[in-house]
Amino acid sequence: MKKNNLTIGIDVGGTNTSLGFVSENGRLIFEKSIPTFADQSAEQLFSRLFKEINTSYAKFIKKYDLIGIGIGAPNANYYKETVELPPNLNWGTVNVVKLVKKYSSLPTVITNDANAAAIGEMIFGAAKRMKNFIVITLGTGLGSGIVVDGKLVYGHDGFAGEIGHTIVDPEGRNCGCGRKGCLETYASATGICRTVFELICNTNLDSSLRKISYESLTAKQISEAAKKGDKLAIEAFDYTAKVLGLKLADSVAHLSPEAIILFGGLALAGDLIIKPTKRYMENNLLNIFKGKVKILSSKLPGNYAAIIGAGALIWNELNKNK
Amino acid sequence: MKKNNLTIGIDVGGTNTSLGFVSENGRLIFEKSIPTFADQSAEQLFSRLFKEINTSYAKFIKKYDLIGIGIGAPNANYYKETVELPPNLNWGTVNVVKLVKKYSSLPTVITNDANAAAIGEMIFGAAKRMKNFIVITLGTGLGSGIVVDGKLVYGHDGFAGEIGHTIVDPEGRNCGCGRKGCLETYASATGICRTVFELICNTNLDSSLRKISYESLTAKQISEAAKKGDKLAIEAFDYTAKVLGLKLADSVAHLSPEAIILFGGLALAGDLIIKPTKRYMENNLLNIFKGKVKILSSKLPGNYAAIIGAGALIWNELNKNK
């Protein structure tokens, strides 16, 4: 019997690392998550990961061949095949592709999680058949993956696609990058929590969110409050969308994409974020772009999108060589 | 005797239209300029242009073959081969490539002037051997041509590369596009004139420029005053560079280019604009980009750069098919 091919998708996160087997049509055949242990080295993580992969694959070996490995990781560089000084992992700088060679001879590709998400959307998700689009991941920070003419934009050094660090206001909020006023300090799960606290401070709007401390507040709570009509929560979404829409209009002026796809935690708020972002973006678009650029939600299955993106990354690479 | 090949480069401007014959190594073998007559139709212009081309080519026919036509024009669309409602020409929407077919069977390509400049820099100028760079034209407005992985970025509809219409301040200066605060209202030959008048209004700086009316003030006068130590003129360059540097840092965050090349009228001020723009851009760059992105002057010969860019556009196209 002819066996089908699968790729291995690996999504390295600060807390957990997920792995899965992804079919050519984007089905997740198997999925498992293990703790990353941020204080451990990359070697230790990959040693544990490949034990899991080998054990798990045993159950699939009769039906499937594994043909490649795609990895999404923070601060990953596609060209250099490295992860460089990830802020939440005690890795230093590691050549991950070289490291993987200790455990597997399969072709291996690495990129950052937002780029993997973009390839995932292109092959299996909301950007199918699109050649020019942008994926924005709204999680703890704001990541982005830019696709031009069907290919990810890496720039001359592999680090392109940092829309989260375009500047909204040079005198604005402190950013984790050491500068001020970056887009991700406004438009991200963390950014909307900061906005809620700004509104608590500056307005007299009644709100259930006034009972919650900054440390325990989540974007999900804000979204639930907004759905119940909480004016402060609705205002927080509106302000987030206003800033995001303004800056996305700048991205459109650079790249004229067919669509911008919102992905990750805050994007799960759906129309609460999509509709006002679209409206504010339209207001700020140059006339030749007006009414042309869609804003869409990710179509990858929420919890597994990052693994599927990583699997898609290597599918895309293998299909290039066909 | 084997004849050498030349392309025809045509640069359509609001006042004059230039044509030239461009060799494969970027030499301008012949150049001529005719009035555009903005109130005439595109048909009338191209009829006059091809008369010139045919008359002029007669002197070169023994030594050279003409093998293609490249056209740079305002509001040109590479995909659709059209010029659409150019603000300074009474053309309406014209399919220029179809129009050219009446006069010549040579392969013809059209794009906007900033994109043609970018291809010119890539093949013959400051971006030789670069695959990821941005050309910024600082003329009456601010145009831009973005190259990723050796190819011009056109976006899904042919209109990408409008960095001049990214927004510096949503409540800022009125822009010709109908919106407010676009980059080109600050960083362009016109923008720096506006800044001089803002400084005349807001400061007590002594300046020779206080004698000049807005309508007669030119960027060249500001540059000459600055070179003589005029503090207001120097301040105007500094402010222009501050705004440009801030927004170019956003462009770098999108695209991670190897270099940004400044081209056109205001760029002729050289270090007066290049040095402070570089400094302000560096101050606003995310750490992973710091110290990596060059800011360079155009290396195409000033007066003929646009024709050479148009000639390069079609050379690039012809060489793709080799």
Supply the pLDDT for residue B296: 96
The answer to whether the CB atoms of B166 and A255 lie below 8 A apart is: no
Interface contact flag, A254 B146, Cβ < 8 Å: yes
Q: Under an 8 A CB cutoff, do A257 and B156 touch?
A: yes
Residue that is written with structure tokens 């003589």 in the block:
B228
Q: What is the DSSP string of B210-252?
A: GGS-TTT--HHHHHHHHHTT-HHHHHHHHHHHHHHHHHHHHHH
A52 touches chain B (CB under 8 A): no
Q: What is the residue type of A64?
A: Y
Is the alpha carbon torsion for A275, A278, A281, A286 positive or negative?
Answer: negative
How far is residue A222's CA from residue A193's CA, in Å, rounded to a whole number?
A: 8
| Nearest by CB: B167 against A165, A250, A287 | A250
Most A CBs within 10 Å: which of B288, B289, B290, B292, as the mutation test of the A interface?
A: B288
pLDDT at A1 over 80: no
Over residues B219-235, mean pLDDT: 97
Mean per-residue pLDDT, A238-253: 98
Q: Are A20 and A311 contacting, i.e. CB atoms less than 8 angstroms apart? A: yes
Both tokens of B185, joined, read: 């209202």
pLDDT tens readout for residues B242-289:
999 999 999 999 999 999 999 988 998 999 999 999 999 999 999 999
pLDDT band, very low/low/confident/very high, at A36 (cuts 50, 70, 90): very high
DSSP, collapsed to helix, strand or coil, labels residue B321 as coil
If one counts every other C-beta atom within 10 angstroms of the C-beta of residue A18, the result is 21
pLDDT in the model for residue B303: 78
- CB distance B163 to B133 below 8 Å: no
Percent of chain A residues topping a pLDDT of 70 = 99
Rounded Cα gap, residues A307 and B7, in angstroms: 50
> Which residue of chain B comes nearest to A282, CA vs CA?
B179
Q: Looking at chain A, list the stretches that DSSP marks H as alpha helix, in order from N- to C-terminal side.
A: 42-57, 96-101, 113-124, 189-202, 219-227, 231-255, 271-284, 305-320
Identify the pLDDT of residue B140.
86
**DSSP-assigned letter for residue A169:** -
Q: What is the mean pLDDT of residues B206-225?
A: 96
- The CA–CA distances, whole Å, from A126 to A11, A148, A300 equal 20, 16, 8
Report chain A residues whose CB lies below 8 A from the CB of B170: 246, 284
Residue B311, token pair as written in the block: 């000639």
- Check A151 against B154: CB less than 8 A apart: no
Q: Is the Cβ–Cβ distance between A260 and A277 less than 8 Å? A: no
Whole-number Å distance between alpha carbons of B114 and B140: 12
| Cβ atoms of B74 and B89 closer than 8 Å | yes
Q: According to the model, what pLDDT value does residue A87 have? A: 78
Q: Considering only residues 98 to 117 of chain A, which have any Cβ-Cβ distance to chain B shorter than 8 Å?
A: none
Q: Collapsing DSSP states into helix, strand and coil, what is residue A231?
A: helix
Question: Which candidate in B85, B112, B148, B252 is best for mutational testing of the A interface (most A CBs within 10 A)?
Answer: B148
Segment holding B33, helix H or strand E:
strand B28-35
Domains and CATH numbers, chain A: 4-120+303-320 (3.30.420.40), 130-298 (3.30.420.40)
Give the whole-angstrom CA distance, residue A8 versus residue B71.
48
Asked if B9 and B19 count as a contact pair (C-beta separation under 8 A), the reply is yes
Residue A282 touches partner B, C-beta closer than 8 Å: no
- Find the CB nearest A286 among B170, B177, B258: B177
Q: How far is CA B217 from CA A53, A106, B189, in A?
A: 70, 65, 10
3-state helix, strand, coil in chain A (%, to 5): 40, 25, 35
Q: How confident is the model at residue B180 (pLDDT cuts 50, 70, 90)?
A: very high
Q: For residue A85, what pLDDT band results from cuts at 50, 70 and 90?
A: confident
Q: Residues for chain A: how many in total?
A: 322
The interface predicted TM-score of the complex, written ipTM, equals 0.93
Whether A85 has its CB under 8 Å from any CB of chain B: the answer is no
The size of chain B, in residues, is 322
Per-residue confidence band for B2, with pLDDT thresholds at 50, 70 and 90 = confident
Q: Residues B308, B120: contact at Cβ < 8 Å?
A: yes
- Which residues of chain B does A162 touch, with a Cβ-Cβ cutoff of 8 Å? 253-254, 256, 286, 288-289
In terms of Cα–Cα distance, which of B78, B74, B62 is closest to B6?
A: B62
CA distance B94 to B75: 11
Residue B108: Cβ-neighbour burial (10 angstroms; 0-12, 13-18, 19+): buried
> What mean pLDDT is reported for chain A?
95
A51 touches chain B (CB under 8 A): no
Q: Does B95 touch chain A (CB under 8 A)?
A: no
Average pLDDT, chain B: 95
Residue among A261, A244, A257 at smallest CA distance from A135 = A261
Does B294 lie at the interface with A, CB-CB under 8 angstroms? Answer: no
Three-class HEC string of B252-306: HHHHCCCEEEEECHHHHHCHHHHHHHHHHHHHHCCHHHCCCCEEEECCCCHHHHH
- Summarize pLDDT for A109-164 with one digit per residue, the tens: 999 989 999 999 999 999 999 999 999 999 889 999 999 999 999 999 999 999 99
pLDDT tens, residue by residue, B18-69: 999 999 999 999 999 999 998 999 999 999 999 999 999 999 999 999 999 9
Confidence of residue A34 (pLDDT cuts 50, 70, 90): very high
Among candidates B249, B273, B287, which has minimal Cα distance to B168? B249
Token pair listed for A199 = 């509104």
Query: Which of A133, A147, A244 minimizes the C-alpha distance to A188?
Result: A244
